[in-house]
Chain A
Amino acid sequence: MRGESVQSDYARMLLQRFLVRLLTMLVTLFGVAIVVFVVIRVAPGDPIAMMLPPGASDDDIARLRALYGLDKSIVQQFFIWLGGVLQGDFGTSISLRQDVLGLVFDRLPATLELATVALLMAIALGVTAAILGARSRGTAIEAGIDIASGATLSIPDFLWGLVLILLFGVLVPVFDISGRVSPQLDLPFVTQFYLVESILRLRFDLTWDLLKHMLMPAVALALPLAAIIAQLLKQSLKEVLDLDYVVLARVKGFSETQVILREALKNAALPTLTLVGVQFTFLIGGTVIVERLFSYEGLGNMAIDAVINRDLPLIQGIVLVFALLFVLINLAVDMMYALLNPRLRHG
């Protein structure tokens, strides 16, 4: 009976937590929408001034302003835009002259695939380094991992990108430097999730081509995050490894690797999980520069063009979708934390 009651309280707590976070998410998105809308309008750079023909008269300029709805006050513009957004209409891109939502959803899968592959790489590298470091604590191996993590962390992702281009694009040209897929290939895909679809269709030739293009930008994005994971998880593991239940496991005759993998890792991973969630949002933010560097056709690359062209509707759409991604990731991490945290689970 007591167990059922605890489970019920736990489920109620999870639901409550979910609803509160959902509400916060909506408020956050509304706030982001206002801030982005106002900031890009008061920031330097007038989209109309950028497209003025040489002989434009004042009437021509006024006509262009009206054409793009920029002749109204910011408040009016905001409510017109918000009204559209609530009905799924994010407006039309000034530079690309296409529906913003369509453009954003066209590009989002490329960025999501890149970010996900980078995250998986970061986790694999970071966890391996952390386990190795924790297992070899106090030795030269741990020192080596600490130095490597520090060095990796101190170099920003775009610089890693340049280093990788030089190493594996120019000096030993084994990977493709630019793009998402070889232009010569015919793609049978019906979605923009090329990597996922190539695997589902068992077209491993295309999977390999996609990975060849994705590997360098993904590594550039993954390395700083891998270093963070390695540092934090190693520290958590070292703390957990001194706890009684771990000592008991050793006494039972488990090897150090078994102790780490079976007993220590689960509890030590919790703070890392939260951090990975937060860092994943930064990683997605990092795609903007890295995608540009590798001419990768994702949302980040398009965001830079939108900013250069002062394409206000497109910037708004991209930022709002990025914000939505961020809050969803945070929500997922929060819920996962609640699910995995034994203190919360057992009341």
Chain B
Amino acid sequence: MTINRRDLLGYGAAAIGAATLGLPRAAKAADELTIAYNVNLPSWDPTTGPSAVNPTIQGLYQSVFDQIIGQKPDLSFTPGLLTEWGWNDDRTKVTMTVREGVKWHDGSPFTPEDVVWSLTRAGDEKTGNPIQFVWKNVNNFKIDGNKITGDVVQFDPVYFKWMSFLTGYILPKAYYEKVGAEGFEKAPIGTGPYMVDKFERNAFLRLKANPHYWGTKPAFENVTIKFVTDAASRVAEIESGSSQVTLEIPYEEYDRLIAKDGLAGSIKNVSDIGMIFFNDIEAMLDKNVRQAAVMAVDKELLVKRLLRGYGQPIATLETPEYTAFDPSIKVEHNPEKAKELLAASGYSPKKPVKFTIQTTKGFKPKDYEMIQAIVGMWRKVGIEAKIEVYEIAKHYELRAADKLAPAAFYNWGNSIGDPTTSTGFAMYGPSPHSVWDSKDLVDMINPLWGEKDEAKRIAGWKAVDKYIAEQAYVLPLMQYAQPIVHSKKVNVVQHVSGALLPALMTPA
């Protein structure tokens, strides 16, 4: 091909003309869906490294890799790659039935060997699976047709629930062994509803519907997921029509956008809560101070004023969707009683108890503003808290070293809704994520980890939650609502786990 100056000028003029006429915004095909996503996808192996424990990117993984056991949008479990699962009577063996007729994205058959290989690999500490502490509890798998049995090393009642959670994915044994970790990063395959068509790190992911998919076929043939980490840019994406769906934008913007022609919204409480950890140091060792700090906070007001009414105040670390949610546990908002409690310990608004509260700023919606409001509520009853702002990375470091301030704001996700993954890890002293470390609580929680009677186990966790609320060992604030804005031409089904799943979207 030869090109002369005249041609070049022609191209330029045509291009400028196209831009001016708005041709770049050419209508997208009906089977095309573009989503402005809020996080990047760092790695394609959903079972190793830091990405594996990042709840926000699980929606991307779930589009390509099926979870071992499926999960409905309300968090209930449903057959996935396993059609049946369970324990024997004395909880010494597990049995699993593998779905037949499933194919990998390359067309090869999905087999029980893939399941055994994946579970064995997940339980091997050398592979760097961060949830290895769960997977190592079952080994010595045996295959008989499409049935798998395994020996229980240590009974973990949540073993099967983890199959719908972090690192609970099956990878293709033959393909992975053939291409290796690096090859898999470049060309990942799964059994999920979508296949990876193109992936540009930090830019976009192109997905193509899996023609072999065993479940409901996705409605959109092609899905482009743009990684737009800046909230203002995501708002611009949806407002300009460049994307048809976006999520995690400020509530103010949500209200503004859904009022516009052609846009609609969906906002639902998800498995993510805001809370204030209390550390068992300084003033927090005084039960009156803790109880007063809890009672002084008007959570309804925080949700109404700061979160524009989106979200729900909570009394424990369990939300209504979680298995151990107990609506009978109430924590009253009673500033007068808070004053009395503080007075009993020698404090008053004129002679306040003093401590530091740490918070992030901009990590969660209105986090800093919320802490400012809480500090204001505390001041009225006799608590003078100094706010210290830190980055989330610093929070993790301090929490792991058990060096957080007496009070520290954080959020906690729990997309399988089990009490071990909410109250359990957040409040059990020996866990690196726990902050309150008193022996009474450790003793109360200890027997629950291996409790074989499910009803007794859940009742036990409810009792723990009640005890924590009475002792005011933590200040649960609210369950967050996840805002999703979308074109009116797309129907979006929200998942309580917070995962945005293109497979659940359909043309309106």
Contact = CB atoms under 8 A, between A and B. Distances in A.
Contact of A177 (B125, B132, B200, B236): B236
B344 interface: no
A55 B134 contact: yes
A272 interface: no
A54 B431 contact: yes
A292 B231 CA distance: 11
Interface string A74-110: 0000000000000000000011111000000001000
Interface in B185-205: 185, 198, 200-204
A173 B42 contact: no
B203 A295 contact: yes
A94 B396 contact: no
A49 B203 contact: no
Interface in B223-252: 224, 226-230, 232-233, 236-237, 239-242
Contact of B232 (A63, A165, A309): A165
A57 B434 CA distance: 12
Given A52-B433, A56-B133, A177-B236, A46 B49 contact: no
B50 interface: yes
A141 interface: no
A295 B233 contact: yes
Interface residues of B, number: 69
A44 B43 contact: no
Contacts of A177: 233, 236-237, 240, 242
A46 B397 contact: yes
B42 A53 contact: no
Interface stretch (B273-281, B368-376, B386-394): B386-394
B226 A49 contact: no
Nearest to B400: A49
A96 B202 contact: no
A57 B204 contact: no
B197 to A, nearest CB: 9
B128 interface: yes
Contacts, number: 174
B417 to A, nearest CB: 15
A57 B134 CA distance: 12
A51 B233 contact: no
Contacts of A202: 1, 3
A63 B166 CA distance: 20
A286 interface: no
A97 B45 contact: yes
A45 B433 contact: no
A49 B396 contact: yes
Interface in A272-291: none
Interface of A: 44-57, 60-61, 63, 67, 94-98, 107, 162, 165-166, 169-170, 173-181, 183-184, 202, 204, 208, 212, 292-297, 301-302, 304-305, 308-310
25 contacts: A49-B393, A49-B396, A49-B432, A50-B393, A54-B425, A55-B431, A56-B133, A61-B432, A95-B50, A97-B49, A162-B232, A166-B236, A170-B240, A176-B24, A177-B240, A179-B200, A179-B226, A181-B203, A183-B204, A202-B1, A208-B18, A293-B233, A295-B202, A295-B226, A295-B230
Closest 10 interchain pairs by CB? A45-B393, A54-B425, A44-B394, A49-B400, A297-B203, A46-B397, A49-B396, A53-B130, A51-B50, A208-B15
